[in-house]
Homo-oligomer: A and B are copies of this chain.
Amino acid sequence: MTRTASVASSPTVGTDVTRVAVSTVIFSLRREPGEVRPTLVLPLVKRTRDPYEGAWALPGGWLDIAENLESAASRTLAETTGLSPSYLEQLYAFGAVDRSPSRVVSIVYWALVREDISRTESFENVAWFDAASLPPLAFDHNQIVGYALWRLRNKVGYSQIAHGLLADEFTLAELREVYEAILDRRLDPANFRRQVESSDTLLPTESFRTGSHRPARLYRYNQDVELADRGPLAH
């Protein structure tokens, strides 16, 4: 099934006011059959009108007058990808006067989507890109993605956020590969195991992933601990 990604239309007010948009940098993981390590990918929308017609841009839309910021992020995320995020956090408010021909303040969120459901539907005008090698994007969106990547790499170091990219059950090697893809460096399997086991965030199951060499125990994410601190509104 193919749907058309919704394209935001301008609000009814004129261009002499500041308009508020909400965009989201959506990260997921793709494991190519031949590839050794998974890669970080994100969905972009091809613009169908000026400015930057034809260029790729972050999914987003105008903030509705009766809509909370995070609701707008969830809504535009669902409209673009048909997915619901496992993690959603405000990134930054971009409001430079010259970032768009008309005055637009963009409240940007960033999100994680689990890999097992991240390719179930495809939408027109939407494509997934390798986060490490993006084309020139519309507006200041390259800068925004760069900052989101920086935040993700930072946060993976002191929170349990990597779980947000994995399916329900996973091996320690799979979890380590997520860290390696985000941080772009190898981690010692032995030390990684000890660190993550001592953090009380994993629940071992009695199942094993078999198929190659010695079977690896499957773990489940401990729902009792938050993935990460999501800001001032996460009480």
Contact = CB atoms under 8 A, between A and B. Distances in A.
Interface in A100-141: 103, 105, 107
Contact of A69 (B63, B68, B93): B93
Chain multiplicity (copies): 2
A95 B65 CA distance: 10
Contacts of A17: 11, 13, 17, 65
A18 interface: yes
Nearest to A93: B93
Nearest to A103: B65
B143 A65 contact: no
Interface string A59-77: 0000101111100000000
A199 to B, nearest CB: 20
Interface in A74-101: 90, 92-97
Interface residues on A, range: 20 to 34
A52 interface: no
Contacts of A33: none
A65 B233 CA distance: 28
Contacts of A69: 93, 95-96, 105
A20 B13 CA distance: 15
| Leading 6 A-B pairs by shortest Cβ distance | A147-B232, A69-B95, A93-B93, A93-B107, A18-B20, A13-B17
22 contacts: A17-B17, A17-B65, A18-B65, A20-B105, A63-B95, A63-B105, A65-B103, A67-B97, A68-B96, A69-B93, A69-B95, A69-B105, A90-B92, A90-B93, A93-B93, A93-B107, A94-B232, A95-B107, A105-B105, A105-B107, A147-B231, A150-B232
Given A92-B231, A105-B105, 7 more contacts: A16-B65, A17-B17, A66-B97, A69-B93, A69-B95, A90-B92, A144-B232
